[in-house]
């Protein structure tokens, strides 16, 4: 199959590209390299340095003369939640308007299916049920979550009106090798980087806030299963397990053999205290379940960061 990955030079996108190529698909990448890294790009993939906001070059990549993809994996996004709070219009321009450019080209060039990386960590807000199922109320508490939910609604519109098949994957807190340390959601990457650089780590608040940490390899498997399935719909991708930030700090410190102290700073106003996703729907639909427990995933991740540091 011909596959197009937006954000294919990024953390999750580059792992997805690698696996698609391993499975002998033809892969093209759209990425403006604002947060993606050129070194992440698989040499067997075609790379287009294009911003999803620039409709003309995006349309050229989609065109029959160039890629004419069967499947589109839409991962390109403005991923910084705090920036979305500081500048909602900027967040909306990339995450909503940019996504509309992608959807319009999916419609125009008869893409078979779009797989969209959404956010289970922000769309549900302060969820009444933990682990949170897909039927939970969607009450995002940040512009980033509002934008992701808006794109989900647009995708449903394109499905109902134009017949565009889709799978929306609401991801938990993804971690693993290649994660960008500049994104505040990447606490494992941030802790690993700072500890290996012998810098102190500041934990926001009391560190008892919980997240559902899912390894990038498991996420990639879910995305590819969504491509292969004929089913449409919204599916959580998480482990169903809560882990607090203090635990991540202690486990990471042990794995990198750091002696840094546990320091706590001010809590982030409005930060959600608990976030954890149920995955029974995707398990029943695709047979997906996480294979990496936290210990194995953290070992893989910290080992990669050590290698990057030459340690």
Is the residue at 44 inside a domain?
Answer: yes
| Structural contact between residues 128 and 180, judged by C-beta atoms closer than 8 angstroms | no
**Domain extent at residue 260:** 181-212+241-275+292-308
| Options 144, 154, 162, 175, the catalytic residue | 144
| Same domain? 10 vs 134 | yes
Residues 24 and 85 in one domain: yes
Q: Are residues 300 and 193 in the same domain?
A: yes
Tell me, yes or no, if 154 is annotated catalytic.
Answer: no
| 75 conformational bin, left if phi > 0, alpha if psi -120 to 50, beta if neither | alpha
Look at residue 263 in the predicted model and tell me its pLDDT: 94
Residue 75 in any domain: the answer is yes
CATH number for position 34: 3.40.50.720
pLDDT for res 183: 58
CA distance 183 to 165: 31
Residue 274 to residue 212: CA distance in whole angstroms:
9
The pairing of beta strand 46-49 with beta strand 201-204: unpaired
- Same domain for 113 and 189, yes or no, is no
Contact in structure between 158 and 109 (CB atoms under 8 Å): no
Distance CA 290, CA 62 (A): 33
Contacts of 190 (CB under 8 A, 6+ apart): 181, 184, 201
pLDDT (tens, 9 = 90+) of the chain, 311 residues, equals 999 999 999 999 999 999 999 999 999 999 999 989 999 999 999 999 999 999 999 999 999 989 999 999 999 988 778 777 788 898 899 999 999 999 999 999 999 999 999 999 899 999 999 999 999 999 999 899 999 999 999 999 999 999 999 999 999 999 999 998 875 568 999 999 999 999 989 999 999 999 999 999 999 999 999 999 999 999 999 999 999 999 999 999 999 999 999 999 998 877 899 999 999 999 999 999 999 999 999 999 999 999 998 87
pTM, entire model: 0.95
Both tokens of 159, joined, read 């499905």
């Amino acid at each position: 199959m011909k596959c197009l990955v937006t954000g294919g030079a990024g953390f999750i996108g580059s792992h997805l590209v690698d696996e698609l190529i391993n499975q002998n698909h033809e892969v093209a990448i759209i990425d403006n390299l604002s947060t993606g890294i050129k070194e992440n790009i698989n040499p067997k993939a075609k790379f287009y340095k294009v911003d999803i906001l620039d409709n003309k070059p995006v349309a050229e990549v989609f065109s029959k003369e160039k890629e004419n993809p069967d499947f589109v994996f839409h991962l390109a996004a403005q991923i910084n939640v705090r920036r979305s709070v500081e500048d909602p219009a900027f967040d909306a321009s990339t995450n909503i308007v940019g996504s509309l450019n992608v959807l319009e080209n999916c419609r125009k060039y008869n893409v078979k299916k779009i797989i969209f990386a959404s956010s289970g960590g922000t769309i549900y807000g302060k969820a009444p049920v933990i682990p949170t199922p897909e039927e939970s109320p969607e009450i995002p508490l940040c512009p980033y979550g509002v934008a992701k939910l808006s794109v989900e609604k647009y995708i449903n519109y394109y499905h109902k009106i134009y017949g565009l098949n889709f799978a929306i994957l609401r991801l938990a807190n993804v971690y693993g090798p290649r994660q960008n340390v500049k994104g505040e959601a990447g606490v494992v990457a941030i802790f690993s980087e700072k500890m290996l650089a012998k810098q102190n780590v500041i934990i926001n608040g009391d560190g008892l806030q919980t997240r559902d940490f899912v390894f990038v390899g498991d996420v990639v498997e879910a995305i590819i299963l969504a491509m292969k399935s004929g089913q449409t719909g919204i599916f959580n991708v998480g482990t169903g397990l809560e882990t607090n930030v203090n635990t991540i700090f202690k486990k990471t410190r042990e794995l990198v053999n750091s002696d840094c102290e546990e320091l706590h700073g001010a809590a982030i106003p409005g930060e959600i205290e608990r976030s954890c996703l149920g995955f029974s729907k995707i398990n029943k639909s695709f047979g997906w379940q996480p294979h990496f427990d936290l210990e194995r995933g953290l070992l893989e991740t910290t080992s990669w960061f050590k290698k990057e540091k030459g340690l």
